[in-house]
């Protein structure tokens, strides 16, 4: 069972604020390529950058998937997908764990809305997580902007 940390949601939003206005694509690649000793910090950083990049690209969905030992991360527009450098397995596992803790989801499959405060604004996204014996996914759907 996950231990609930009420500060994870706040830490995620602070990480988003910290990286607002940076080159998300380049920074996420650095985070994926050079993990630090702090897996939770890396997971929050990677997730924040992926969320900001998806938002900036005006994409509809961010997907993080693990099937067996292969991890993929994609940003999906209406007709195209952008593949991102995936995080290390330990960082991926921590990202899933963090999102499950924020949303209080212990079941194998579930979802709910999540509000992210970004500076003086906020956005509500729909988060879904799913776990089977050989696969785990995290999908974040963004509202249509504009």
pLDDT of amino acid 15: 93
Structure tokens at 33: 């390529």
Element (H, E) at 29: helix 24-33
Between CA 30 and CA 105 the distance in angstroms is: 30
What digits encode the pLDDT tens for the residues 41-82?
Answer: 999 999 999 999 999 888 999 999 999 999 999 999 888 999
Structure tokens at 141: 């759907």
Structure tokens at 59: 């994409």
Element (H, E) at 123: strand 121-131
What digits encode the pLDDT tens for the residues 75-121?
Answer: 998 889 999 999 999 999 999 999 999 999 989 999 999 998 887 78
Residue with tokens 């924040």: 48
This prediction's pTM: 0.91
Residue with tokens 């690649």: 29
């Amino acid at each position: 069972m996950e231990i609930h940390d009420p500060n994870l949601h706040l830490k995620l939003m602070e990480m988003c604020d910290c990286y607002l206005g940076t080159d998300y694509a380049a920074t996420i690649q650095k985070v994926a390529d050079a993990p630090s000793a702090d897996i939770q910090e890396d997971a929050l950083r990677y997730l924040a950058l992926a969320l900001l990049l998806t938002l900036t690209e005006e994409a509809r969905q961010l997907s993080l998937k693990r099937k067996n030992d292969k991890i993929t991360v994609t940003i999906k527009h209406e007709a195209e997908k952008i593949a991102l450098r995936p995080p290390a397995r330990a960082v991926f596992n921590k990202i899933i764990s963090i999102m499950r803790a924020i949303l209080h989801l212990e079941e194998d499959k579930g979802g709910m809305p999540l509000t992210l405060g970004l500076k003086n604004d906020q956005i509500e996204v729909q988060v879904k997580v799913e776990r089977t014996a050989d696969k785990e996914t995290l999908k974040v759907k963004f509202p249509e902007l504009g």
